[in-house]
Structure 1
Amino acid sequence: MIDPFGRSITYLRVSVTDRCDLRCTYCMSEKMTFLPKRDLLTLEELDRLATAFILKGVRKLRITGGEPLVRRDVLSLIDNLSRHLETGALEEITLTTNGTQLRQHAARLARAGVRRLNVSIDSLVADTYARITRGGDLGGVLDGIKAANDEGMAIKINAVALKNDNANELADMVAWAHSEGHDFTVIEAMPMGEISEDRYDQYLPLSLVREGFETRWTLTPLAHRTGGPARYVRVEETGGQLGFITPLTHNFCEGCNRVRLTCTGQLYMCLGQQDKADLRAVLRQEGATDAMLAAAIDDAIARKPKGHDFVIDRPGSAPAVPRHMSTTGG
């Protein structure tokens, strides 16, 4: 699949649910209204759509949410999709998780061939973590990370930079992650969805975060790419890898190789745009064939835009994209 700007689309992120067991302040409203279960794709439909993309050249599949591990029987979906790893059609299946359910599911994920996880943690101070997540248990998440690590999975810690919550803690979080053998990526807050707080008050440019890191460490740029938006450096003093995802201070669109499929079968060609293709409608047509699905995917890829429209430019401004991140998939 080649988009209008010559980019090869080899990476699909599949959201299996919009639900989450946390309510992070920068991501969700405290009282969320989630989709009725009848609107969600079945696990069989998710499998069929993911397989259609794999047949068209997707080599990396990431399972996301919401929190993917809160969906009932989602492990059976991952088990089934692992057949594409066995045939070599797919290079890897990865998972983005908040870690709350990881302790009980790590062993089965490993058996299904999941070798890498992204775990979101925005503070290593229990009270701060609980406040950001509106009630999350940091200890349980850390136990889950240990369980995954014991199963041989590589862990990358993701943290959103929040000016009023974790700005003074980010360097210590990097040091902790590297001491545990984990990579670390810091992310600028993205203007998606209506939340109770003002993102402008929390917005922290990663250019400032990086300047702070450089007073403590020597950062050596790396050519390493994972197919994602992060730009990586090596922290010489720790030997660990550090990533920066900067949708606002440095547009990351030029090398975009991904599309996102929601739990309702909507295909978003860009995280920061509203255009979408309704693959559920195609899938549920009477007599829908694989050829029809392939044609709908081709039509959607032909509309992939050059870049996003993210901006946080003034206090109280409306989000650049009205849907919540949990709707599209993290």
Structure 2
Amino acid sequence: MPAVSVALARRVPPPPDGATGRLAGVLADTHGRVHRDLRISLTDRCSLRCTYCMPEQGNEWLARQSILTLDEIEEVARVAAAAGITTFRLTGGEPLLRRDIIDVVRRLAAIQGPDGPIDIAMTTNGIALPGLLPALVDAGLRRLNVSLDTLRPDRFRELTRRDRLDDVLRGIAAAAASGLRPLKLNAVAMRGVNDDDLVDLVEFAGAHDAQLRFIEQMPLDVGHTWDRARMVTREEILDALGRRWTLAPVPGRGGAPAERWTLDGGPQTVGVIASVTAPFCGACDRLRLTADGQLRNCLFSTTEYDLMPILRGGSGSPRARLDAIDGMLRACVRGKLPGHAIDDPGFLQPQRGMNAIGG
């Protein structure tokens, strides 16, 4: 899309009385799933270069003028909250690279939905947490997920192409001391790479009052080099952990992406997100907003719904603008398929990598 210059000096107000149109109805798709979680990507840039996400060099970054402004993010978020979204998860790339990240959290945390304040969560690599976490908590951040695939410095450098493990560990220590709970650590399990780290990662998480969540490697890398044979499956993860602990399933998963198990009766738990071998599409309640204003109804979707003409069109009444955003949200939800069909022979990997989609 061509770049559109726009000056937004205003603070986005709540929708005026009588200007909400259809905004009271929940975001339900044609398969009966009600959507309550919006993942908001703030940037496609990252301070790491994880091998399963992006190449070390040659990345085609989004043009700066195409990135949503804070006012635009807030406007979409207000409409989403009025339509029943109860959680905003801030993602990237690395969301803490965004210079206005404190203001993003503060303004989104001030939004009220029909049932009260919105829950503000974030997924991060943790590198910038020590310097920013007090202000983030003060602004309204309530939950954190930190990515950590290995505890071995040499392996971390190879995986991320950066020597930043000590920085990540300091970020996790700051998160553990902050009182934000639940604190979750995310690890992508890869055969021959970190599959011998699984027990160590769980023990590290327990020492930091955190829950480790293992994620099956998914076909979301920019270079399209995903190889199913290198993926460590849910059953393999559970088998490895079962040799160290007695696992018992935690009931009541709901729409959560992770299945959870207690370790030796609890209280510590471990989670597995098995998007490939045990998809949870039937209970999915998530939508995604990319950093350049595209709505996505599935992480693996090849279709996007473009909000930019609405946000930067510069015409129409406040009511028409709000209704247009709401209409696009509902069109995106209506277009959601029953599942991602990774196992279908005709499955096509999204053109965007995870850093440009948002986690």
Q: TM-score, normalised by structure 1?
A: 0.93
Change (3 A) 1:167 1:238: farther
| Whole-Å separation in 2 of the counterparts to 1:87 and 1:136 | 45
Change (3 A) 1:194 1:80: closer
Match of 1:297 in 2: 329
What is the number of residues matched between the two proteins? 327
Deviation at 1:208, TM superposition (A): 1.0
Deviation at 1:228, TM superposition (A): 2.6
Match of 1:194 in 2: 222
Equivalent of residue 308 in structure 2, options 268, 271, 280: 280
Change (3 A) 1:276 1:190: same
| Whole-Å separation in 2 of the counterparts to 1:220 and 1:98 | 29
Deviation at 1:185, TM superposition (A): 0.3
Alignment gaps of 5+ in structure 2: 1-26
Change (3 A) 1:293 1:62: same
Deviation at 1:197, TM superposition (A): 5.1
SS state at 2:185 partner: strand
Equivalent of residue 82 in structure 2, options 55, 58, 63: 55
| Whole-Å separation in 2 of the counterparts to 1:275 and 1:318 | 13
SS state at 1:260 partner: strand
Deviation at 1:165, TM superposition (A): 1.2
Equivalent of residue 244 in structure 2, options 216, 220, 233: 216
Equivalent of residue 269 in structure 1, options 289, 292, 297: 297
Change (3 A) 1:196 1:298: closer
Deviation at 1:193, TM superposition (A): 3.2
| Whole-Å separation in 1 of the counterparts to 2:351 and 2:55 | 12
Moved more, 286-295 or 12-21: 286-295
Structure 2 letter corresponding to 1:162: M
Which residues in structure 2 correspond to 1:21-40 (within 5 Å)? Answer: 21-31=47-57, 32-40=59-67
Change (3 A) 1:274 1:206: same
Deviation at 1:200, TM superposition (A): 3.8
SS state at 1:45 partner: helix
Q: Deviations over 1:107-159 (max 9, x none)?
A: 01111221210000000111111111111411111111222222211220000
**Are 1:324 and 2:353 matched, yes or no?**
yes
Which residues in structure 2 correspond to 1:98-247 (within 5 Å)? Answer: 98-154=125-181, 155-195=183-223, 198-200=226-228, 202-225=230-253, 227-236=255-264, 239-247=267-275
Partners of 2:52 and 2:221 within 8 A in 1: no
| Whole-Å separation in 2 of the counterparts to 1:246 and 1:51 | 32
SS state at 1:254 partner: helix
**Are 1:250 and 2:264 matched, yes or no?**
no
Partners of 2:120 and 2:142 within 8 A in 1: yes
Change (3 A) 1:23 1:194: same
Change (3 A) 1:244 1:218: same
Structure showing greater Rg: 2
Change (3 A) 1:43 1:64: same
| Whole-Å separation in 1 of the counterparts to 2:208 and 2:123 | 19
Change (3 A) 1:237 1:123: farther
Equivalent of residue 77 in structure 1, options 104, 114, 120: 104
| Whole-Å separation in 2 of the counterparts to 1:238 and 1:318 | 39
Deviation at 1:311, TM superposition (A): 4.5
SS state at 1:13 partner: strand
| Whole-Å separation in 2 of the counterparts to 1:264 and 1:91 | 23
Q: TM-score, normalised by structure 2?
A: 0.86
- % of aligned pairs identical? 35
| Whole-Å separation in 1 of the counterparts to 2:142 and 2:311 | 30
SS state at 1:76 partner: helix
SS state at 1:50 partner: helix
Equivalent of residue 10 in structure 1, options 36, 40, 47: 36
| Whole-Å separation in 2 of the counterparts to 1:53 and 1:212 | 41
Structure 2 letter corresponding to 1:18: D
Alignment gaps of 5+ in structure 1: none
Partners of 2:86 and 2:113 within 8 A in 1: no
| Whole-Å separation in 1 of the counterparts to 2:206 and 2:339 | 32
Match of 1:41 in 2: 68
| Whole-Å separation in 1 of the counterparts to 2:229 and 2:304 | 30
Moved more, 19-28 or 193-202: 193-202
Partners of 2:82 and 2:114 within 8 A in 1: no
